[in-house]
Amino acid sequence: MIKYPTGQGNKNKIENQEATNFGRRGMSLEKMINLSNKHYLKYGVAVVHKKPTPVQIVKVDYPNRSHARITEAYFRQPSTTDYNGVYKGYYLDFEAKETTRATYLPLDNFHEHQIRHMEDCIKQKGICFVIVSFVKLNRFFMLPAELVIKYWNMKTKNGRKSIPLEIFIEKGFEFKPTNLPLVPYIDFVNKFINQEIS
């Protein structure tokens, strides 16, 4: 039986208070999404989790029977996007990206694997999208994965290196992380289902 570190419960409580009382000051997009996942889960809206970072474990020490300590491990390349889950029977799958660029999102924020994964999920009728934070502009968007794939394929064909901000403004869903959930991705999903975004 492995003993896990304790205190997670308290940490979560503090994080929720932070989000409620002080807004999202200095909070990473990942943290904002994790809090939003918790919010949706708590209120029975959707079940979405971040996948753990894939790690190749090489060496584990057992100082005592109940406690394992990993002493050598390496990061592995993720074969999928970071987030997936279920909402009213719909499969959701998304990736989050932050950029310091002011007028475009560089395509090298994505791995080939992630693009192929989004393609595969769309073929199986999953709802796939990306959540992008333009840090310097303080602007936040969701964009259907179909558009990311389209621009990615232009990269191979004609060397395109980015998705322009205008595409996010014209085709995406802009949100302001001012209320809970900070990242209201279910609003985007509802619009996508109702074909208000495509």
**Closest CB to its own copies among residues 29, 48:** 48
* Binding site residues, its own copies, CB under 8 A: 2, 4-5, 41, 44, 46-47, 49, 51-57, 68-80, 84-91, 93, 117, 120-121, 123-126
In angstroms, the CA 80 to CA 153 distance is 18
- Residue 114 annotated as binding? yes
Written as six digits, the tokens of 169 are 């403004």
- Residue whose C-alpha is closest to residue 131's, from 167, 94, 176: 94
- Residue 156 annotated as binding? no
**Closest CB to its own copies among residues 75, 178:** 75
**Closest CB to its own copies among residues 34, 133:** 34
**Rounded least distance, CB 95 to its own copies, Å:** 14
**Closest CB to its own copies among residues 123, 157:** 123
**Rounded least distance, CB 33 to its own copies, Å:** 15
In angstroms, the CA 181 to CA 141 distance is 15
In angstroms, the CA 133 to CA 99 distance is 6
- Residue 53 annotated as binding? no
What ranges in the chain are assigned the alpha helix state H? 8-22, 29-42, 112-123, 145-158, 165-171, 185-193
- Residue 30 annotated as binding? no
Written as six digits, the tokens of 159 are 């060397």
Written as six digits, the tokens of 26 are 């200095």
User: Residue ranges for the binding site?
Assistant: 80, 82, 95, 114
Binding-site residues for Mg(2+): 80, 82, 95, 114
